[in-house]
Structure 1
């Protein structure tokens, strides 16, 4: 059995898609799974043992490029895939397996993809409330799974494999000594500051942790670099905090998260990476909801003061923060984090 996956283009979605790959492997250990996704995804896909090959998608997110998609599809015909599973809901994402002449092309209906997909599913969002459930359902025949309650339990959560030498190399590259426990901060989030816990709260929490003899490392993209600088500037003990946002490759960031004793994070892609690395983590939610894409880990604690999903791109505060995140106080996060670390240490001991 050979399966082509048309993968998602966001870190969090890519992480959650691993549950599908793990399920396919559980159903058929000989299933050869190739994933077509943006080149940056290789850093994650290479750490998923279920994936046979990561195939770089040369087109950017949102780029239609019909002729190029036809060319990519033709190039995949010699691979003789038995099935293609299309995870994005866009019309264009279903073109490549169609051009590749994959005999069985599976996916949710999305943008009216009749013809492009011949194993098409109609999504009842209430029947599959979690993204992971929608992904895993595609591993099974459509007449077998009608709702999330039909899925075999427990679902296989994402689980990345990181070797100790990769962790050691990442720490060495950035000259990070392990003389103190490392606490990772992931203060960034897509769509701007409305999904971010305020930098001044991160700074206050960082000082509390430094007083507990911890060292802080800040991880994220280039867009998060300034947030990291603002956190350090507002700290009393800023010399015990290292801002690596925008300085690491994704693969290095994964290794550094694996090196951390715990993670404090906004609702972000790196949150899902930390969950898949089985790191104790405190996830801070505001207008976005954990009801759809929660951190998939028994070592995760979610703090959220409101309910329901709110489509907010800009908060009311001067810096664009959402009031529900401003209202999450550093003392609360510190207490939650300390209890979580103690619980995890006790269960491991």
Structure 2
């Protein structure tokens, strides 16, 4: 039996997919501490994936700006009087916020063995990059006397968001159609399958009798527009037309999601949408989507040499090794397997 806590702060200052991968840990904490107030601190733009999550009482968003501009927020963190802080960010900024909190129990990840380890009551070196991120996060439960549970990432869509998604589909004439969602962008270009292959895949799926929808944020419009222009047949673009929450609601209603290793891939898996994920420089063992309806195409090329700041292998890159025909075959196989969901 672990220690008892009443006011817990969980810090994850990363991206949308990273925040979603913390939700299994939040489920464990809620089960263990049903009366505790659980606050999650995240970066701006990622908070939406935690809305309506029954394991979270409050989502705090770290303001943008330098330390001086963030002084009021730092005072807020201090005033909350957390009795336990769990830092899942594995970074210096989150370690500083952990120290500011003044919590008597501070647990964090420190795989690099940096100075921040001295901030925590327990600093876990872990085996970063060798296990699924959900399991990597769960190491912080050990000092609390808790055991990991086999929970999957969660994303909770409200009835109002479901209704908004239905209205979007109706406007585009998709409410009674079989349709597939493609997300051709990625945070880093070398994690993205070539956009001309997404266009060809879209054409092939339209020929199979599906409507094809391209999704992405406004920042990803150039990639999405290239795909729609390169396609020979009509592809529908939802780029910049939905909020994160509306996109999640739409994912619940589509026949298949095909995309790169990025936040939308994890969102689709979290709402139980069939997923075909295309991986290159990142390891799907660590970053892959969770769920029985998820399939991954990955060539296993060791990209550690050139992952940062960019790819240097050119046409021999890990994403270019993924052929269009094999993606189409895999997509059709998933669609046939999940035909009773269509």
Is this a same-fold pair by TM over 0.5? Answer: yes
Mapped partners of 2:116, 2:321: distance in 1: 43
The equivalent of 2:76 in structure 1 is 75
The equivalent of 2:167 in structure 1 is 172
CA RMSD of aligned residues (A): 2.4
**Alpha-carbon distance, 1:14 to partner:** 0.8
- Contact 1:75 1:100 (8 Å CA) reproduced: no
Mapped partners of 2:52, 2:271: distance in 1: 10
- Partner SS for 1:54: strand
The 1:182–1:31 alpha-carbon spacing in structure 2 relative to 1, beyond 3 Å, is farther
Mapped partners of 2:301, 2:26: distance in 1: 32
Unaligned runs of 5+ in 1: 146-150
- Contact 1:282 1:303 (8 Å CA) reproduced: yes
Mapped partners of 2:91, 2:137: distance in 1: 15
Residue 21 in structure 1 maps to residue 26 in structure 2: yes
- Partner SS for 1:138: helix
- Partner SS for 2:252: helix
Unaligned runs of 5+ in 2: 1-5
Which residue of 128, 131, 134 maps to 1:129?
131
TM-score (norm 1): 0.86
**Alpha-carbon distance, 1:280 to partner:** 0.3
- Partner SS for 2:46: helix
Provide Cα deviations, 1:118-141, integer angstroms capped at 9, x if missing partner.
Answer: 222222347x62221121221332
- Contact 2:161 2:249 (8 Å CA) reproduced: yes
- Contact 1:72 1:96 (8 Å CA) reproduced: no
Mapped partners of 1:114, 1:230: distance in 2: 45
The equivalent of 2:93 in structure 1 is 92
- Partner SS for 2:115: coil
Mapped partners of 2:18, 2:316: distance in 1: 24
Mapped partners of 1:251, 1:331: distance in 2: 32
**Alpha-carbon distance, 1:3 to partner:** 0.6
The 1:248–1:138 alpha-carbon spacing in structure 2 relative to 1, beyond 3 Å, is same
The equivalent of 2:56 in structure 1 is 51
**Alpha-carbon distance, 1:70 to partner:** 5.1
**Alpha-carbon distance, 1:85 to partner:** 0.7
**Alpha-carbon distance, 1:288 to partner:** 2.0
**Alpha-carbon distance, 1:263 to partner:** 0.1
TM-score (norm 2): 0.87
Residue 218 in structure 1 maps to residue 214 in structure 2: yes
Residue 116 in structure 1 maps to residue 119 in structure 2: yes
Residue 105 in structure 1 maps to residue 106 in structure 2: yes
Mapped partners of 2:116, 2:72: distance in 1: 20
**Alpha-carbon distance, 1:323 to partner:** 3.5
**Alpha-carbon distance, 1:212 to partner:** 2.3
**Alpha-carbon distance, 1:279 to partner:** 0.6
The equivalent of 1:156 in structure 2 is 151
- Contact 1:315 1:322 (8 Å CA) reproduced: no
Mapped partners of 1:32, 1:283: distance in 2: 35
**Alpha-carbon distance, 1:164 to partner:** 4.1
Residue 291 in structure 1 maps to residue 292 in structure 2: no
- Contact 2:63 2:73 (8 Å CA) reproduced: no
